[in-house]
Amino acid sequence: MVSVTLDNVMKKFGDVTAVDGVSLRIEKGELFFLLGPSGCGKTTLLRMIAGFYPPDGGRILFDDRDVSGVPPHRRNTGMVFQNYALWPHMSVFKNVEYGLTVRDLPADERDRRVKRALGMVQMEAYAERSPNQLSGGQQQRVALARALVIEPDAVLLDEPLSNLDAKLRLEMREQIRRLHGDLGVTMIYVTHDQKEALSMADRMAVLDGGRVSQVGEPRALYTRPASRFVAGFIGETNFIEGRITQVTNPESRVEVETGVGKIVSTACPDGLQAGDRVTCSIRPEALAVVSGDPPAGDNVLSGQVEDVMYLGEIEQYFLKLDDGSSIKVVEPSPDAPKTRAGERARLAFSPARVVVLKA
- Kindly state whether residues 40 and 103 are assigned to the same domain: yes
Model confidence at 296: pLDDT above 90: no
Of 153, 80, 154, 156, nearest to 121 by C-alpha is: 80
- Kindly state whether residues 193 and 317 are assigned to the same domain: no
Confidence grade of residue 335 (pLDDT, cut at 50, 70, 90): confident
The average confidence (pLDDT) of the chain is: 92
Asked if 159 and 34 count as a contact pair (C-beta separation under 8 A), the reply is no
Listed residues 206, 231, 256: the one ending a domain: 231
pLDDT number for residue 251: 67
Model confidence at 61: pLDDT above 70: yes
Q: Average pLDDT of 111-135?
A: 90
- Kindly state whether residues 262 and 219 are assigned to the same domain: no
Confidence grade of residue 294 (pLDDT, cut at 50, 70, 90): confident
Confidence grade of residue 240 (pLDDT, cut at 50, 70, 90): very high
Assign residue 131 the CATH number of its domain.
Answer: 3.40.50.300
CA distance 222 to 219: 5
- Kindly state whether residues 301 and 185 are assigned to the same domain: no
Listed residues 188, 207, 231: the one ending a domain: 231
Beta bridge mates, 317? 308, 329
Assign residue 302 the CATH number of its domain.
Answer: 2.40.50.100
Q: How many domains does the chain divide into? A: 2
Residue 231 burial (CB count, 10 A) = 24
Model confidence at 101: pLDDT above 90: no
Of 286, 281, 287, nearest to 230 by C-alpha is: 281
pLDDT number for residue 144: 87
Listed residues 190, 209, 231: the one ending a domain: 231
- Kindly state whether residues 244 and 217 are assigned to the same domain: no
pLDDT number for residue 56: 95
- Kindly state whether residues 300 and 192 are assigned to the same domain: no
- Kindly state whether residues 183 and 262 are assigned to the same domain: no
pLDDT number for residue 83: 81
Asked if 219 and 262 count as a contact pair (C-beta separation under 8 A), the reply is no
Whether this prediction's pTM lies above 0.85 is answered by yes
Model confidence at 71: pLDDT above 90: yes
Of 312, 329, 313, nearest to 321 by C-alpha is: 329
Name the strands in the sheet holding 57-62, side by side, starting at the edge strand that comes first in the sequence.
16-26, 4-13, 57-62, 65-66
Q: 288-290 and 344-349 as β-strands: parallel, antiparallel, unpaired?
A: antiparallel
pLDDT number for residue 257: 96
Question: What domain range is 39 assigned to?
Answer: 4-231
CA distance 20 to 54: 14
- Kindly state whether residues 28 and 177 are assigned to the same domain: yes
**Per-residue DSSP letter, 74:** G
pLDDT number for residue 250: 65
pLDDT tens digit sequence for 178-194: 889 888 899 999 999 99
- Kindly state whether residues 184 and 287 are assigned to the same domain: no
pLDDT number for residue 270: 83
CA distance 269 to 264: 14
> How far is C-alpha 346 from the geometric centre of its chain's CA atoms?
33
- Kindly state whether residues 157 and 213 are assigned to the same domain: yes
- Kindly state whether residues 131 and 16 are assigned to the same domain: yes
- Kindly state whether residues 220 and 318 are assigned to the same domain: no
